[in-house]
Structure 1
Amino acid sequence: MKFPLYFSRKIAFSKDNKNNLSRVIIFIGRLSVALGIIVSLITISTGFGSKKAIKERLADFSGHVTVKSTRSNSSYNTSILDNEGLDIKKLKNLDDVESVQKYAMVTGIMRNEHSFAGIIFKGVGKDFDSLRFKKFLISGKTPQISEDGYNNGVTISEKISNDLHLKVNDSIVTVFAKEDQKQIYRKFQVVGIYKTDIKMIDDQFVIGDVNHVRKIMDMKPEDIGGIDIFFKNVNNIDRDFPEVEQLIGYKNYAEKATDKFPQINDWISIFDTNIALIISIMLIVVIINIIMVLLILIIERTNSIGLLKTLGATNGQIRATFINYTLIIMVPGLLYGNAIGIGLLLIQKFFGIIKLNPENYYVSTVPVDLNPIAILSISVGILLISGLALIIPSYLISKISPVKSIKYS
């Protein structure tokens, strides 16, 4: 074992540390490291967790990528997809694609004696991924679509159900209108109520039978207004997007889930800035505290440094000894910080103690993403950066004269 590491371990675990100033200094150093780890873990896990949760909610409701016609305008009434160059079979066979579902949309107004609500009626077919949608249901179910005839069941949002005082099994009249044509009335039965916590979705969308949309929009039985494509991993949207674009034809276009609601996407991007800022601040605080610990330990052990120099130890060996000593002091702080930080995050993950206002944050509880790589990277990163930061202040050792240090011991 090399001398610096051996001697640093000897003084780190020396019983003398329990009876002098070192005890207080070591406690302060470990406390600052533990707090830095706790704050960093919470920041990264909740920040990345929020980004992931919001992206998943957007994607699981309307597809990770949606294919639309280039004839679509700002209206929510969908235009018919062009079949030229569109290869749905190949889309389904892409490695990362989990499912593909067809849809068509039309706008309308739901009304009753209580109130009215402007809605976007999203008609889905028998390939609708009801299992993926199940996480949003708070009561009832989704319509069972066979595409033979018309299913009058609809699943509405909690917001719409509250505005119109509707519950499962209630009936509601919806009015649809096309340009230069008379109003079209449809009577639906509420079979389910959902909640995504995303205001732009919950305020408007109703899930129902695609055949109603086809009838209202004068579409043929085989016509569709769009395709929702779901990937196995929401984080692979950017990677797999170019493959999708190659299989949809030049008269259609693909849109990522995050691009459908740019205001949400912009809000999500703020997380990266906040995470980087908080981690940087905590890292600076930890480094400053660790440097102060090193300097105080050097001053406190000036006599020992003089003695080591007298015995032939070089400045480099002594500097390495005190840097190792300081890093060894940090290890319990790292362990306690990780234990407390991960413990708090697990409590939040499984019990959802801390709540949020979904109108502002798009989620009702603080989401947690416990990524082992991120957790390990924080601890290793703090150790490495602290080790490098200690090199310059450790040069104070070279200024200590062995003659003077021993003379005044």
Structure 2
Amino acid sequence: MKFPLYFSKKIAFSKDNKNNLSRVIVFIGRLSVALGVIVSLVTVSTGVGSKRAIKERMADFSGHISIKSKQSNNSYNSSVLEKEGLKIKEINEIPDVAGTQNYVAVSGIMRNEHNFAGIIFKGVGKDFDAERFKKFLVAGQTPKISEDGFNSGITISQKIAQDMHLNVKDSIVAVFSKGNQSPLYRKFEVVGIYKTDIKMIDDLFIIGDINHARRIQGMEKNDVGGIDVFLKNINYIDEDAPKIDRLVGYRNYTVKATDEYPQIMDFIAIFDTNIALIISIMLIVVIINIVMVLLILIIERTKSIGLLKTLGATNGQIRTIFINYTLLIMVPGLIFGNVIGLGFLLIQKYFGIITLNPENYYISVVPVELNAVHILAISLGILVVSGIALILPSYLISKISPVKSLKYT
């Protein structure tokens, strides 16, 4: 074992440190490190978790990537998807693709004696992924679609249900219009109520039978207005979108869920800024406290420094001793910070103690994503940055004269 590291361990774990001024200084240093780790862990885990949760909510409702006809012109009303060049089989064979489902969307109005609401009727077929949608249900179920006839069951959002005083098994009339044609009236039964916490979805969308949407839009039995493509991991959406776009034909186009709601993505981008800002502030606080600890320890052990110099130790060796000494002091702070921080995050992850207003944050419970890489990076990052920051103040040691320091009491 090299001399600086050996000597650092001897003084760091010496029992003499328990009854002198350094005990208070060491406690302050460890406390700042622990708080830095706790705040950084909570910031990164909840920030990354929130970003992922919001993106997944958008994607699990409307597909990670949607295929639409260019004739739709970004309208809520679907145009018939062109089959020329559309290679659904190849799309499903892409390794990251979890599945696809057809839909036809049409805008309309629901009304009763209590209120009225503008809606987007999203007609889905028998390939609708009810299991994926189940996480959004707060009551009832999704319509059972066979595509052999017309199912009048619909699943509406909790927001629409509250505004129109609707419950499961209630009936409601919806009005649809197309061009100069007379309005079309359809009577539906509410079979389920959902909640995504995303206002742009909850305010508009209802889920129903694709055949109703086809009839309203004047489509043929096998026509499709769009295809939702679901991926296994939303983190690969930017990589997979071009692959899918090459397989939809020149008369169709693809849109990512992350592009369909730009205002939500702008909100999500704020998380990156906040995470960077908070971690930077905590690093500055930790560094200031650790540098203070080092300087006080140097002053307190001036006599020991003079003795080491007299015995032949170089300034570089003594600086290394005190840097190692300070970093060893930080280790308990890192351990306790991780234990407390991870404990709090696990409680939040499994019990959801802290809630949010979904109208402002698009989620109702603070989500947590525990990533081993992030956890290790925070601890190692604090340790490495602190070690680098200690190099400059450690040069104070070279100013200490052996002769004068041995007279120091």
**TM-score normalised by L of structure 1:** 0.99
Could you tell me which amino acid in structure 2 is paired with residue 49 of structure 1? G
Matches within 5 A, 1:270-285: 270-285=270-285
Residue 145 of structure 2: aligned partner: 145
Residue 5 of structure 1: aligned partner: 5
Could you tell me which amino acid in structure 1 is paired with residue 397 of structure 2? I
Residue 168 of structure 1: aligned partner: 168
Distance 2:113 2:210 in 1: 27
Could you tell me which amino acid in structure 1 is paired with residue 314 of structure 2? T
Could you tell me which amino acid in structure 2 is paired with residue 237 of structure 1? I
Residue 14 of structure 2: aligned partner: 14
Distance 1:391 1:74 in 2: 59
Please give the secondary structure, in 2, of the residue aligned with 1:159: helix
Residue 204 of structure 2: aligned partner: 204
Pair 1:62-2:62 in alignment: yes
Pair 1:254-2:254 in alignment: yes
Distance 2:209 2:304 in 1: 83
Residue 300 of structure 1: aligned partner: 300
Residue 370 of structure 2: aligned partner: 370
Distance 1:328 1:408 in 2: 26
Distance 1:313 1:334 in 2: 30
Pair 1:332-2:332 in alignment: yes
Could you tell me which amino acid in structure 2 is paired with residue 283 of structure 1? L
Please give the secondary structure, in 1, of the residue aligned with 2:72: coil
What's the offset of the Cα at 1:37? 0.4
Count of paired positions: 409
What's the offset of the Cα at 1:73? 2.1
What's the offset of the Cα at 1:65? 0.5
Could you tell me which amino acid in structure 2 is paired with residue 10 of structure 1? K
Residue 180 of structure 2: aligned partner: 180
Distance 2:212 2:149 in 1: 9
What's the offset of the Cα at 1:408? 2.9
State the percentage of identical aligned residues: 73
Distance 2:3 2:185 in 1: 88
Please give the secondary structure, in 2, of the residue aligned with 1:25: helix
Pair 1:157-2:157 in alignment: yes
**How big is each residue's C-alpha offset from its partner over 1:307-337, in whole Å with a ceiling of 9 and x where there is no partner?**
0000011111100000000000000000000
What's the offset of the Cα at 1:143? 0.5
Residue 353 of structure 2: aligned partner: 353
What's the offset of the Cα at 1:114? 1.1
What's the offset of the Cα at 1:189? 0.7
Please give the secondary structure, in 2, of the residue aligned with 1:186: strand
Identify which range, 192-201 or 341-350, moves more after superposition.
Answer: 341-350
Could you tell me which amino acid in structure 2 is paired with residue 370 of structure 1? L
Distance 1:291 1:19 in 2: 22
Residue 388 of structure 1: aligned partner: 388
Distance 2:290 2:112 in 1: 67
Distance 1:408 1:120 in 2: 82
Pair 1:234-2:229 in alignment: no
Distance 1:145 1:93 in 2: 25
**How big is each residue's C-alpha offset from its partner over 1:1-52, in whole Å with a ceiling of 9 and x where there is no partner?**
0000000000001111001011001000000000000100110011111100
Pair 1:218-2:215 in alignment: no
**How big is each residue's C-alpha offset from its partner over 1:134-193, in whole Å with a ceiling of 9 and x where there is no partner?**
000001000111110111110000011111111111111111111100010111111100
Identify which range, 107-116 or 194-203, moves more after superposition.
Answer: 107-116
Distance 2:115 2:408 in 1: 89
What's the offset of the Cα at 1:74? 4.1
Please give the secondary structure, in 1, of the residue aligned with 2:71: coil
Distance 1:242 1:73 in 2: 20
Q: Is the 8 A contact 2:302 2:408 kept in 1?
A: no
Structure 1 segments (4+ residues) deviating >2 Å? none
Residue 93 of structure 2: aligned partner: 93
What's the offset of the Cα at 1:351? 1.2
What's the offset of the Cα at 1:75? 2.6
| Structure 2 residue ranges without an equivalent (≥5) | none
Could you tell me which amino acid in structure 1 is paired with residue 360 of structure 2? N
What's the offset of the Cα at 1:222? 1.3
Residue 128 of structure 1: aligned partner: 128
Pair 1:27-2:22 in alignment: no
Could you tell me which amino acid in structure 1 is paired with residue 316 of structure 2? G
Distance 2:346 2:408 in 1: 54
Could you tell me which amino acid in structure 2 is paired with residue 150 of structure 1? F
**TM-score normalised by L of structure 2:** 0.99
Residue 79 of structure 2: aligned partner: 79
What's the offset of the Cα at 1:348? 1.1
Please give the secondary structure, in 2, of the residue aligned with 1:71: helix
What's the offset of the Cα at 1:353? 1.1
Could you tell me which amino acid in structure 2 is paired with residue 62 of structure 1? S
Could you tell me which amino acid in structure 2 is paired with residue 164 of structure 1? M
Residue 43 of structure 2: aligned partner: 43
Distance 2:408 2:129 in 1: 81
